[in-house]
Amino acid sequence: MKENILITGGTGFVGTHLVEELINQGISPESIHVTTLNKKPHPFLDKVLPETNFHQINLTEPEPVLELFSLLSPAVIYNLASFSAPGLSLEKKSLTLSVNTNIQLNVLEAMLAHTPQARLLSIGSGTEYAQSPHPLTETSPIGPRNPYAVSKATQDMLAHSYHTSYDLDIVRVRPFNHIGEFQARGFVIPDFVYQITQEIEKGVKDSIHVGNLDVRRDFSDVKDVVKAYVLLMSQGISGEVYNIGSGIDISIQELLEKLKSFSSIDFPIIIDEDKKRSGETDVSVADISKIRALGWEPTIPIDTTLKRIVQWWRNQ
């Protein structure tokens, strides 16, 4: 029997790249099932997955999740679905916390009920860590600083508790910033690239509006990140947690300068105080030696990733 792979939130930013990666690795599209909250035509996935493999369900409700697990009996579950914008989470604190907690709980309960032998990938975040000496290892103190980060730490703790209490086969990850095609506005790189390609290059605006440029973050290409996810589902140790990042910190200022250099138009940078977030950490960079030991490496240089993103937005 062919084993089903379930990707919650599979039509989102990371999910789209993960489906592509699985197909590139020779997985049959017939076995890849994705959940989606709002079924709308998807520019890429509609071409590669059978229509019956899209499951339009609300993962914050327990019953549809139980039904889906009963129907598919997935052997492998990538739980990508998440309210995932740290900035917006400051406006929608309660929603962020309840959505992410309930999705995780419902998936874990459905797994316990219907597929207790399956393997789950639980997606935490590099934002779970407190501001600590860098780079951050998997044993660095937890101390999230915004509701999104708290919700990811809660998901991470729930995954850990179901592993320890019920012996479920769960691998946990803490990805740091990742970027690529399909990422929506509300994140720093799409926000910058949108303004450059859709506004400035089209003559709608003549300057870019940005928040805090001084903070340093660890950026990876989403295509490298999904490779790490797939690797961990075969090589990761059950119950363990793995950082995923580049291991290199770069300032938002440097990223913006790179993007600026890719445009033929010169434009001024306007710092909006109200785009700055209170309580942000200065630096966040991952120690990736634990996943490196499994044979994973970031492979795509940041300039290549940024150029690809700019080109993708120009084609929108």
* Footprint of its own copies (CB under 8 A): 62, 93-94, 97-98, 101-102, 105, 109, 139, 141-147, 149-150, 153-154, 157-158, 160-161, 164-166, 277-279
Please name the residues in contact with 283: beta carbons below 8 A apart, sequence gap of 6 or more: 131, 134, 215, 216, 217, 249
In whole angstroms, how close is the CB of 291 to its own copies at the nearest point? 19
- Residue among 103, 93, 18, 21 at smallest CA distance from 64: 103
Beta bridge partners of 35: 55
In whole angstroms, how close is the CB of 105 to its own copies at the nearest point? 6
In whole angstroms, how close is the CB of 161 to its own copies at the nearest point? 5
Please name the residues in contact with 311: beta carbons below 8 A apart, sequence gap of 6 or more: none
Check if the beta carbon of residue 145 is closer than 8 Å to that of residue 280: yes
In whole angstroms, how close is the CB of 162 to its own copies at the nearest point? 9
In whole angstroms, how close is the CB of 100 to its own copies at the nearest point? 10
Give the chain's length. 316
Amino acid at 303: D
Cβ distance to its own copies smaller for residue 241 or 244? 241
- How would you label 279-301 residue by residue, b for 16+ Cβ within 10 Å and e otherwise? ebbebbbbbbebbeeeebebebe
| Strand 220-221 with 216-217, pairing | unpaired
In whole angstroms, how close is the CB of 165 to its own copies at the nearest point? 3
| Strand 54-56 with 76-79, pairing | unpaired
Cβ distance to its own copies smaller for residue 129 or 182? 129
The count of other CB atoms within 10 Å of the CB of residue 189 is 23
Cβ distance to its own copies smaller for residue 31 or 212? 212
Cβ distance to its own copies smaller for residue 105 or 306? 105
Cβ distance to its own copies smaller for residue 29 or 62? 62
Cβ distance to its own copies smaller for residue 43 or 141? 141
Residue 51 DSSP symbol: G
